Structure 1
Amino acid sequence: MKKGIALFFATAFATSVAMAGHHTIHWGYSGHGGPEHWGELSDDFKMCMIGRNQSPIDIRTDTAYQTKLPAIGFDYHTPTKDVVDNGHTEQVDIEAGSGITIDGIRFELKQFHFHTPSENRIDGKSFPLEAHFVHADEHGNLAVVALMFKYGKTNPVLAKIWNKMPKHAGKKHHLTMTAEDVQHLLPKNRAYYRFNGSLTTPPCSEGVRWFVLKHPVTVSKAQVRKFARILGFANNRPVQPINARVILK
């Protein structure tokens, strides 16, 4: 993946339109622009149809390969900037400087955004909400940390984001959240499943490192309803075939 393309999708992971040649390609989650048609909308999106390492997936824990995975080196120490309705999700942009270290490589946190219901599944189970923390290294390679939410108590960090969510595509609101707030979204136990995958939105580029946290955090039913109401549609791509990939646990 070329650096410019990778960084574009790291900072605008799911835009309301995608540019292909001289045309604006509209895509979405239903109808003629839905996931089953993404690969037909543009030559630039063909990977959505022909890719062999696509995301999301259903993580089957009984067949995942047991190994000693290294801890992800989380270093989130910068505040948020804005929350943006980009037409496909609500996305929180982060001030530069935060990131993770994995495989001896530093990946900078660009943004995080949400999907309802969850895109990835664990042993066939879907979750009401999933967050994707999108990171890029200096060469534009991407690493995504996925966090699942289960129904339970109101999530105080989400409440701060939800209170600032724009209600119209293309709008953004300034969001004042500390680095500690962002850290508190994550569970204390940060064990994870790992696999190689892709962007879950067009152009579905592959070569993305995926880290799905094993332990969910809570979200209230009212919070999920509010997100779904503002977004207006389910924004989850269906799970994709695992093919020959190995899932590590």
Structure 2
Amino acid sequence: MLVKPIRLKLIACMFAALPLYSAASEWSYSGHSAPDHWAMLDANGNYSTCAKGTHQSPIDIPSASAKHINAASASLGIDYQRSPLDVVNNGHSIQANVAGDSRLEFQGKTYKLLQFHFHSPSEHLYNGKRFPMEMHWVNQASDGSLLVIAAMIKSGEKNAQFEHIWNKILPQKKGEHIQISQAQAPDLGRILPSVSKHFFYKGSLTTPPCTEGVQWVLFEQPLQLSADQISAFQSIFTGNNRPASAINQREIDED
């Protein structure tokens, strides 16, 4: 999210956000390349924040102690649209790179939607409760700063927005890409809960290089996928969640 200094910084941020993983310092969720070892996997120290960072994600959200703020102070406006998708199995998750002009505004700054991806089980917890899955929408502003929208996923009704492409959107093999046209793609604006409060906090990417300074916005109301839809993802990826990090006296806000 690198050419001239400013452009190089933006590109380096984008790579961290997408993310595009380096085979030279490959990481995973188990064994000798599990989260506890991420900081040691890159000889150049690029992953050191994974161990030394003090504002890491995910966390266990303590809703009872969240600071209530005026909803207007959050000023969250989401304008996600139906857009063509490049869906890839990157070996760590199913990631959909988003074309088009989906964006959001938060506290007066505009962020463009780059991609969305999934974790199972959820990375964040709500009062110690973990969900079967979690979905992340990664957004980037023109200055390179990142904002991640997150929603927990629980088992329930079949998700109609994903239903007609769920088999296509889940490439089975690492490196496999599937192109989804705009007409076939889900309406991203209709996937997010229509009515929900939110948690806000400052954290990091949940994958190497664990870059901090990421604004997190978490929907309190979970999404629903059917048991079959959840199982379809878990047949490819399960346990692709980073353990919760210490809050370290960070402020957690709730609108």
TM-score under structure 1 normalisation? 0.92
The aligned residue for residue 58 of structure 1 is: 60
Q: CA deviation at 1:150?
A: 1.2
CA deviation digits over 1:8-38, x for unaligned, max 9?
A: 122x22x4x326xxxx111000000000100
**Higher alpha-carbon deviation: 169-178 or 209-218:** 169-178
- Give the count of matched residue pairs: 241
User: Secondary structure, in 3 states, of the residue corresponding to 1:246?
Assistant: coil
Question: What is the alpha-carbon distance in structure 2 between the residues aligned to residue 151 and residue 180 of structure 1?
Answer: 19
The aligned residue for residue 40 of structure 2 is: 40
The aligned residue for residue 235 of structure 1 is: 240
The aligned residue for residue 109 of structure 1 is: 113
User: Secondary structure, in 3 states, of the residue corresponding to 1:100?
Assistant: strand
Q: CA deviation at 1:80?
A: 2.7
Q: What amino acid is the match of 1:54?
A: Q
Matches of residues 148-187 of structure 1 in structure 2 within 5 Å? 148-164=152-168, 165-177=170-182, 181-187=187-193
Note if contact 1:53-1:243 (Cα within 8 Å) is conserved in structure 2: yes
Note if contact 2:104-2:111 (Cα within 8 Å) is conserved in structure 1: yes
The aligned residue for residue 195 of structure 1 is: 201
The aligned residue for residue 6 of structure 2 is: none
Check 1:73–1:180 CA distance in 2 against 1; reply closer, same or farther (3 A cut).
farther
Matched, 1:209 2:215: yes
Instruction: State, as a whole percentage, how many aligned pairs show the same letter.
Output: 39
Residue among 227, 234, 237 paired with 1:221: 227
Question: What is the alpha-carbon distance in structure 2 between the residues aligned to residue 239 and residue 177 of structure 1?
Answer: 36
The aligned residue for residue 29 of structure 1 is: 29
Note if contact 2:82-2:182 (Cα within 8 Å) is conserved in structure 1: no
Check 1:89–1:247 CA distance in 2 against 1; reply closer, same or farther (3 A cut).
same
**Higher alpha-carbon deviation: 79-88 or 195-204:** 79-88
CA deviation digits over 1:52-109, x for unaligned, max 9?
A: 0000000001111111133421111351322111110001121131110001000000
The aligned residue for residue 128 of structure 1 is: 132
Check 1:177–1:215 CA distance in 2 against 1; reply closer, same or farther (3 A cut).
farther
Question: What is the alpha-carbon distance in structure 1 between the residues aligned to residue 180 and residue 35 of structure 2?
Answer: 31
**Higher alpha-carbon deviation: 183-192 or 136-145:** 183-192
Matched, 1:245 2:247: no
Note if contact 1:47-1:203 (Cα within 8 Å) is conserved in structure 2: yes
The aligned residue for residue 7 of structure 1 is: 14
Note if contact 1:96-1:108 (Cα within 8 Å) is conserved in structure 2: no
Question: What is the alpha-carbon distance in structure 2 between the residues aligned to residue 161 and residue 91 of structure 1?
Answer: 14
Q: What amino acid is the match of 1:168?
A: K
In structure 2, runs of 5+ residues without a counterpart are 2-8
Note if contact 2:75-2:105 (Cα within 8 Å) is conserved in structure 1: no
Question: What is the alpha-carbon distance in structure 1 between the residues aligned to residue 243 and residue 164 of structure 2?
Answer: 29
Question: What is the alpha-carbon distance in structure 2 between the residues aligned to residue 161 and residue 90 of structure 1?
Answer: 13
TM-align CA RMSD: 1.6
Q: CA deviation at 1:190?
A: 3.8
The aligned residue for residue 138 of structure 1 is: 142
CA deviation digits over 1:204-239, x for unaligned, max 9?
A: 0000000000111211121111101123x4110000
In structure 1, runs of 5+ residues without a counterpart are none
Check 1:44–1:143 CA distance in 2 against 1; reply closer, same or farther (3 A cut).
same
Q: CA deviation at 1:5?
A: 1.3
CA deviation digits over 1:119-154, x for unaligned, max 9?
A: 011111111111000000001100000011111111
Question: What is the alpha-carbon distance in structure 2 between the residues aligned to residue 87 and residue 227 of structure 1?
Answer: 13
Question: What is the alpha-carbon distance in structure 1 between the residues aligned to residue 196 and residue 111 of structure 2?
Answer: 17
Note if contact 1:71-1:191 (Cα within 8 Å) is conserved in structure 2: no
